[in-house]
Chains A and B, each alone.
Chain A
Amino acid sequence: MSVESASLARLLLKEEIEQFLYREAELLDARRYEDWLDLFTEDARYWMPMRRNVPAEDPAREFTREGVDVNWFDEGKDTLARRVKQIRTGVHWAEQPPSRICHMISNVQVLGAPSDDSAPDDVPVKSCFLIYRNRVETETALLVGKREDLLRRVDGGWRIARRKIILDQSVLLVKNLTFFF
């Protein structure tokens, strides 16, 4: 493969993955939660640690640990599906009336892009999010942070096999997390 075609392949892969992430965000903002769930592999992991204020030289303590500690989220597709089902009951008061939410996804980095044209099956992808949530009358929140995804190519399309969500807050400044990252 020429240098030019390798660069082109990386560019195309990045474009493909960015479009996937934007479509995913649109599904959430359009409240198409079941379609959103379909984007996850059956064995998907969805993890959002809590964060602590710790000395800069002691970074290991900053995050709660996956699979060990209490986290904001530490679950698989089954629990995500129950969250979706709860929203659909019509009596999930924290989302009744529904929040108005906009996911802004940026700073997308495709890591481990291929050096030849054989498309990889698993691609680590980093991105940043800015989530705007407004509900009822004046209740408004901005949540900003990073995501580390592992995307997997399944049947010609992309699926999320793993998502780590790093929220840039220690004390959570919103009363609940009834929405998805």
Chain B
Amino acid sequence: MLDAKLGSLAGLVDVERGVISREIFVSEEIYRQELERVFARAWLLLGHESQIPRPGDFCVTSTGEESVILCRDAAGRIRAYLNSCRHRGMKVCRYDEGNTVEFLCPYHGWSYGTDGALVGVPFARDAYGQQLDRSRWGLIEVPHLENYKGLIWATWDPDAPAFADYIGGYKLYLDLLLDAWDGREGGTEVIGGVHKWLVPCNWKFPAENFSGDRYHGISHRSVDMVGIGPSGTGRRDNQERNESRWLDVSFPDLGHSMIAFLRPHDAALAPAYQDAPEVADYFRRCEEERRRRRGAEWRLFGGPGTVFPNASPLARQPRTIAAWHPRGPHQTEVWRWYLVDADAPTEVKDFLRHYYIRYSGPSGLTEQDDMENWNYAHAASRGTIARQYPYNYEMGLGRATDSFEDHGLKLPGRISVVTGNASENNQRGFYTRWRQFMEAASWKELSPR
């Protein structure tokens, strides 16, 4: 079906008309090729540096379906290796995290240093004599790894562009997640513990939902009725959003996107975190400082987004990032990290932690309903008849601009100003890039312009 030629997927993914086949969500063959053409090429999220603070610290993570060890070597450098012994493939680490001087394969006993070098081979002299060149049989290391403001990313493709080029103009939006609330560069950390759970749906359901789906308010109506937000109502503080211009920001040439909000240039501070005066005070002080530091860009706030292909920041309320790990065409393993300002007072971190838990993940009042929808949307799209009928992505077609400006503030990306409820600008951007990855023979055809 697929032959990795430009145009070969035109019949399945037609973003110009806003029509996308269900096949790309449910086909075993397309899934198999996604692992090769998307997940073996793209920059993927591995974790956060605060998970491995000391030399010898490690945690096990995932790229596509494959297990990867993320560790800080004895010299303090962050490295990532395929979690598979070079001799017979056994996982050399079956722990989620820890601290070690070596990774010992429990099958035949080959062992590797935290720098990936093959250091131990049982009965080496008798078994191999002088034949075994250990320098060629170390752990398989990712060719490119980047620590971007604490988040660790890697790609398996030696020809992939540098992370800065991969992110491109999206940096402005990703930084809304990773910079401190008062506008300082970086300064965020993750709270201990990574949510990990299985959802029976294709990984693209959550990836495109986070990319820019403002339209699914009905999914969360029950939470809005109950009120779990930081001021006791709704699911988050809304005044700041309601007073803003709603921008769906997409980078179709990169695949990244975010739901963003642009405050009026003369907007006063909006009340937030009213359930806890000390928390409200912290954010008020941060916002004031942010306005001083960031110039006109103080007006920009982030929401959910997706870094192509499967990492989804949520820049604000709750402040999180998720990885949607593919586990076959019909299953996704979600990993979610929760971020706070590293130097925020303990009571602020604790307030946010409680809010994050009651909002997010399988126990979160909000996301529980997302999982139900992704589960049964996927299930009802698998049938022979269902697969003949595409999904509709026409919302807001033709309304986006590549030269957005508001009161002198120019913002990068293809931006759809949302005047009604929503647009599907970002989803179209996501699938534009997805199709490019699936049709390209190599990074030569994919490199950002």
Give chain A's interface residues, CB within 8 Å of chain B: 48, 50, 52-55, 58, 61, 64-65, 67-75, 79, 82-83, 85-86, 89-94, 136, 139, 170-178
Contact = CB atoms under 8 A, between A and B. Distances in A.
Given A54-B96, A61-B97, A82-B226, A74 B376 contact: no
Contacts of B17: none
Given A83-B365, A170-B196, A176-B367, A52 B357 contact: no
Given A61-B98, A91-B221, A71 B365 contact: no
Contact of A75 (B218, B350, B357): B357
A72 B96 contact: no
B358 A89 contact: no
Specify the main secondary structure of chain A where it touches its partner: loop
Interface in B196-221: 196-200, 218-219, 221
B347 to A, nearest CB: 12
Interface stretch (B186-194, B303-311, B393-401, B403-411): B186-194
Taking each of B195, B197, B228, which has the highest tally of chain A beta carbons within 10 Å of its own beta carbon? B197
Contacts, number: 124
Contact of A176 (B97, B222, B362): B362
Interface of B: 94-98, 191-200, 218-219, 221-223, 225-228, 333, 338, 350, 353-354, 356-358, 361-363, 365, 367-369, 371-373, 375-376
Nearest to A73: B363
A171 B196 contact: yes
A93 B369 contact: yes
Contacts of A69: 191-193
A67 B227 contact: no
B194 A176 contact: no
Given A54-B98, A74-B357, A82-B226, A172 B368 contact: no
B194 A70 contact: yes
A171 B372 CA distance: 18
Taking each of A52, A67, A90, which has the highest tally of chain B beta carbons within 10 Å of its own beta carbon? A52
Contact of A85 (B94, B199, B226): B226
A48 B338 CA distance: 17
A176 B199 CA distance: 8
